[in-house]
Structure 1
Amino acid sequence: MSAFGRFLKGDRGADRVVPRGARAAVSVGFLAAVMAFFAVLALALALAAGRLADSWSGELARDATLQVFAPQEQVEAQARAALNVLRTTPGILSVRVVTLEEQTDLLEPWLGPGFVVETLPLPLMIAVTTDRATLDQDSLALRLSAEAPGAVFDDHAAWRMPLVTTAERLRIFAIACLGLTVLALAAVIGLAAQAAVAANGQVIQTLRLIGARDSYISHAFTRRFTLRAAGGAVLGMGAGLALLAALPRATEQGFFLVGIGLRGWHWALPLLVPVIAGSVAWGITRLATRASLRRWS
């Protein structure tokens, strides 16, 4: 049997060192469940923020719009001139005139379905896909000002870059929360292990008198706390995944937490949470119990 298998099987004699109803061990299981729940949510937030940052700085960075502001009788002529400039400019991959129906769909969530969009002085809009590496925006602006003075080219950088920065900082914040969760779990497990050793002092002294080594005693505490932490983390992970699965999809109307959740293979990442919780519990309990036992020597 492997060392891991022996650890899971345990030793009935050693397990009696730590009473099954020990409050410290029960508290560790409950704390691990709570920490795992929040860890799953923080992980989902970090992944969602990363997706948003990558999208806003990647694919969406290629999108731009050109709006034609001109008197009604000049709109068509300036639109043709603007389209000619765009199609002959290096770095412009595609252009497409945005229809009035599309503009209506974009404005409907803000103005309501019953609003008559035709009453607004909407500009003619052209959707543009660009190659940022080869596009010379200064040259494009000069050509547009000369051939279509009513055309305004917007690469969306004014609103996109703050969103990218916000998403990046949100990802850092979520990762920091994950780290703090692990540290808090380690600190509480260490204190609980020391308290459990102190509460069972008479049993430990008796075991020493009959020849039990500190490694034997430490193994009993380590196994109990590790299994409690891992079991609690599994329950907390399950609760976190259930909450994420219950969230409305980003495509549903009225859903403001767009993109929050897990996608694809990211659903497998929360499985690491119980493994990490158990590993932290094993390492911290082992160190804490051995340090406490040395002080008792």
Structure 2
Amino acid sequence: MKKPDLKSLDLAALWRGLTQPDGAGTDRVVPPTGFTAQLTLFSAAAMAFLAVFALALALATGRLAERWSSELAETVTVRLSAPPEQMDEQTVTVMEVLKTSPGVANARLLPDAEVEKLLEPWFGPDVPVEALPVPRLIEVTEGAGFDADALRLRLQGEAPGAVLDDHTRWREPLVKAASRLRFLGLVSLLLIAATSAAMITLAAKASLAANGQVIRVLRLIGARDITIATAFVRRFTRRAALGAAAGTVIGMIAIWALPAMDEAGGFLTGLGFQGFGWIWPLLIPPAAAGIGFFSTRWAALRMLREVR
């Protein structure tokens, strides 16, 4: 950045800017152009763009963990494997056991069409379920007083080919993984905020160093360090807010343009915002402005104390 010429400074304009009652003119003493302006705008926009995706990841994984936990918490599955000649007989036995077991609210034998749909992601469409040795599946809805261990022992005694699966073995790892992904998303937001603060601090220090002559003149005409710092704080806060607003808008458009979960074949976790969740990214620009305010204020006051 080119340092301003001491002879070219308009002392009257500087004084008017510093002595306005509302302080609105203090930022006029800071040169409006230079690489620090572009650096602040670009870094704020880039960090806001990444923050939108980190926030979307945290919210999506939170929804995923809740959905997996709620959908499978009150259901169990009975898997029946038996020779073809015994399959119908054992199916009737299992259904009778389930009807007479306490705590079983409902038991439903899954038709071949639903089993085929469950196998479709692995074997493709039009799976010949009736020609394959696929076990029969019975969906059981839990009620009050349901005892999985007692039901499992009863099934072993009356229908040896029936196995009770309460989904705990694979549900808990999935929920734990989704919770950890949400935690990583929140950690990413903190790292993005810390990186933004570091970049704005460096830009503010560079601007202060490049405007050393202006600072000396301001001190000569009676400006206090807090007044000089306010001039830099106003300008850098505005730059951080504008850059973050641009990055947030671009990030929200990118999230909106992602394919829906159904269009992606069901393998996506629904990354994005839903309903009132679209309000959360709008908090990123005010947060960036706050980071810019405190970072610039701390850097300016510290540097002004060191340079006398």
Task: State the TM-score, normalizing by the size of structure 2.
Answer: 0.88
Q: What does residue 29 of structure 1 align with? A: 41
Distance 2:130 2:24 in 1: 80
Partner residue of 1:16 out of 8, 25, 28: 28
Distance 2:103 2:275 in 1: 33
Structure 1, unpaired ranges of 5+: 1-8
Q: What does residue 46 of structure 1 align with? A: 58
Residues 85 and 114 from structure 1, CA distance in 2 versus in 1: closer, same or farther, beyond 3 angstroms? closer
Shift of residue 254, structure 1, vs aligned partner: 2.5
Shift of residue 237, structure 1, vs aligned partner: 0.7
Q: Is the counterpart of residue 284 in structure 1 residue 299 in structure 2?
A: no
Distance 1:253 1:101 in 2: 22
Distance 1:89 1:32 in 2: 61
Classify the secondary structure of the residue corresponding to 2:106: strand
Shift of residue 73, structure 1, vs aligned partner: 2.2
Distance 2:254 2:277 in 1: 15
Partner residue of 2:73 out of 48, 61, 74: 61
Alignment: residue pair count: 288
Distance 2:67 2:294 in 1: 39
Distance 1:30 1:279 in 2: 17
Moved over 6 A (4+): none
CA contact (8 A) 1:48 1:259 kept: yes
Q: Is the counterpart of residue 273 in structure 1 residue 289 in structure 2?
A: no
CA contact (8 A) 1:222 1:285 kept: yes
Q: What does residue 4 of structure 1 align with? A: none
Q: Is the counterpart of residue 185 in structure 1 residue 204 in structure 2?
A: no
Partner amino acid, structure 1, of 2:295: I
Structure 1 or 2, whichever has the larger Rg, is 2
Q: What does residue 125 of structure 1 align with? A: 137
Q: What does residue 161 of structure 1 align with? A: 172
Classify the secondary structure of the residue corresponding to 1:59: helix
Partner residue of 1:172 out of 172, 179, 183: 183
Shift of residue 253, structure 1, vs aligned partner: 4.4
Q: Is the counterpart of residue 203 in structure 1 residue 204 in structure 2?
A: no
Shift of residue 89, structure 1, vs aligned partner: 2.3
Partner residue of 1:113 out of 125, 132, 135: 125
Classify the secondary structure of the residue corresponding to 1:58: helix
CA contact (8 A) 1:248 1:255 kept: no
Q: What does residue 97 of structure 2 align with? A: 85
CA contact (8 A) 1:17 1:204 kept: no
Shift of residue 44, structure 1, vs aligned partner: 0.6
Distance 1:58 1:160 in 2: 11
Shift of residue 129, structure 1, vs aligned partner: 1.8
Residues 20 and 65 from structure 1, CA distance in 2 versus in 1: closer, same or farther, beyond 3 angstroms? same
